[in-house]
Amino acid sequence: MSMTTTPPVLAPVDAPTSPAAGEPARTYLVKTLGCQMNVHDSEHMAGMLEQAGYVAATPEAAAAEDADVIVINTCAVRENAADKLYGNLGRLAGTKRSRPGMQIAVGGCLAQKDRSGIVERAPWVDVVFGTHNLDVLPVLLERARHNQAAEVEIEESLKVFPSTLPTRRESAYAGWVSISVGCNNTCTFCIVPHLRGKERDRRPGDVLAEVAALVDQGAVEVTLLGQNVNSYGVEFGDRGAFAKLLRAAGATPGLERLRFTSPHPAAFTDDVIAAMAETPTVMPTLHMPLQSGSDRVLRAMRRSYRSEKFLGILDRVRAQMPDAAITTDIIVGFPGETEEDFAETLRVVEASRFSSAFTFQYSPRPGTPAADLPDQLPKAVVQERYERLIALQDRIGLEEAQRQTGRTVEVLLAEGEGRKDGATRRLSGRAADNRLVHLALPEGLAEADLPRPGDIVTVEVTHAAPHHLVADSGAQGGTFAVRRTRGGDAWERGVTGDDAHGGDACGTGGGTPGGPAAPVLLGLPTLGRAPR
C-alpha cells in the first residue's frame, strides 16, 4: 500500500521530459545525511536523475548549493536528524526564492517516517519520497513542476531493489555493492527495521556480477553493504551464504581490496572469520557493533548476545588475523543504565582494544520500544559518562595507533580524505586495515611520478594520533614506492574525460568527465564521535 498526497493532475505526466532543443539541461545536487547505505542510495538517485537528462552541478556550484534540483537524502537514526534536515531546508528556502524554477526533494529514512509532515513544516519542499521507492524521484519532480504543487509518495514495502537502478558512482576506483536491504532484528533503540523493512537478500550471482562490473570499470576496492551483512542468505535458506559470498567476491580478477559493513555479533560465525583470514583480498578490518558492555542493558536492548560472546568473537578474529583493526558502535545512557552498567561498558572497551569507536548519547526515537521505557537518564549524567568513554577510547586509540609506528603500510590514496592536506602538503588514504594515513611526498618528485587517487603507495608510519597515522618516510629519505593501478587510471579518465567512464548513469560509472571527481568515502570513517 502506498500513501500519496497530490493535487488533481491536470494532464498525464508519467515520465520526466528532456530539455527542449536549445535549453540547457537542469542541474542537480544530492546531499547525503547518514550511513553508508544512504551514500549508496544517493548514488542511485544521481544515476536516475542523469538518466532523466539532468546534469550534476559543478563542484563550485555544489558548494554554493546552486542547482536547479537539490535532493536531501535523510537519516532518522539519531534525535538530531530532524534538526539537520530542517536546518538544511531553512537555509534553502531563501535560495529557492531567489532562483525561479528551483526544486527541493527530500528522501530517505526521515522522509519515510515523517511523510507529508515535511511539506506541512516546510511548504517550499516540492517532492517527498521514501526508502522503498527511490525509482519515482524523476517522475515526482516532473509532476511537481507540472502541477506546481508538492508531491508526496511513500510506499510501505520495497517495490524495486535499489541495485537494479541506474547509478552514478562517487568513485571510479572504489565502490559500494549492496547485498541486502532491511533488517530482521528487533533492537529496542533502533527505528531502521520500521523504515527499511524486513531483510531482502540479493541473489549471489547478481552481487558477484555487480562486483565484476565495477572491477571491469577500474575499481580496485569494493565494500559489501547490508544492515546486517552476516545474516545474508536468510531469505533463501543458506546460513553459510555470507562466508561463501566473501570468498567468491574476493576471487574476482582485478579486485585488490574487499570490505563489508556491518555485521551483528549474534550471527557472526567462525566460517566468516575463516573466509576473511583465507581470502587475501578481504582486508584485515572489522566493524563489530557493541552498543553496551552490560549484559543487563544488552538484554533491555534486545541484543541477542552478551559481553563475553562479543569478546570471544574478537579473540577468534585476532587469533587468525593478529593485525586486524576492529571498530565499533557504542550507546551511552540507554534508559535504566546504572553506573555499574556503564562500568561494564568501560571494562569491555578496555578489553576490546578498538582502533576507533562511533560513540552516541542515547536519544529516544518515537516508535521504538526504548522510547517508552522508564528511567530515561538526565542529560547531565549521560554527558558525563559520554566524556569518560571518549577519554578512554581516545587513549586506547592512540595506544593502538602508536603500535603502528615503524610499520610499512600500503595506502590506497583517496580524494577528499585529508582536510588539511593542502596546508601540510601531504596526501591521504587508507591502509589495508582501514586506518586513515596522511603521507608526505619525497622532495623533487616529478609531476609524472605523482601518485593519483586510486594508486597504492608504500610508506613507513612515522608517528600516530588517536584517529590517524602519519607516514613521512618519503620526505625523510626512507620508504616510498608508488604502484599505479587500474583504479588510478580510472580516476584519471574521469578527470580528463578521456572516455565515457566518468558519470555513467547505467550502473558502473564514476567521476565527472572534464572536472574533479567527487569526494570519495572508503570503508568506515575513523573518527567516531556523535555531534554534541
CA 479, CA 246: separation in Å to the nearest integer? Answer: 32
Q: What's the chain's length in residues? A: 532
Amino acid at 307: S
Q: How far is CA 190 from CA 133, 296, 331, in A?
A: 21, 18, 11
- Give the separation between CA 14 and CA 459, rounded to whole angstroms: 55
Look at residue 144 and give its three-state secondary structure. helix
Query: 75 a known binding residue?
Result: yes
For residues 387 and 363, what is the distance between their CA atoms, to the nearest angstrom? 16
Grid cell for residue 49:
536523475
Binning the chain into helix, strand and coil, the percentages to the nearest 5 are 35, 20, 45
HSE (side-chain half, CA atoms, 13 Å) at 156: 4
Helix (H) or strand (E) holding 313: helix 307-320
DSSP per position, 83-138: HHHHHHHHHHHHHHHHSTT-EEEEEEHHHHHHTTHHHHH-TT--EEE-TT-GGGHH
State the burial class of residue 45 (Cβ atoms within 10 Å of its Cβ: 0-12, 13-18, 19+). Answer: buried
Q: List the grid coordinates of 484.
A: 599505479
Q: Distance (Å, rounded) from C-alpha 225 to C-alpha 260?
A: 6
Cα torsion angle, 293, 299, 305, 309, sign: positive
CA 142 to CA 320: how far, in whole Å?
Answer: 54
Cα R_g (the chain), whole angstroms: 23
Asked whether 146 and 15 are in contact (CB, 8 A), the reply is no
Q: Widest CA span of the chain, in angstroms?
A: 71
Alpha-carbon distances, residue 213 vs 172, 209, 254, 361 (angstroms):
12, 6, 11, 40
Distances (CA, A) of 38 to 31, 102, 137, 407, 470: 10, 23, 15, 35, 30
506 is in an annotated binding site: no
Is 389 strand, coil or helix?
A: helix
Please give the annotated binding residues for [4Fe-4S] cluster, written as ranges: 35, 75, 109, 183, 187, 190
Which residues make up each annotated binding site? 35, 75, 109, 183, 187, 190
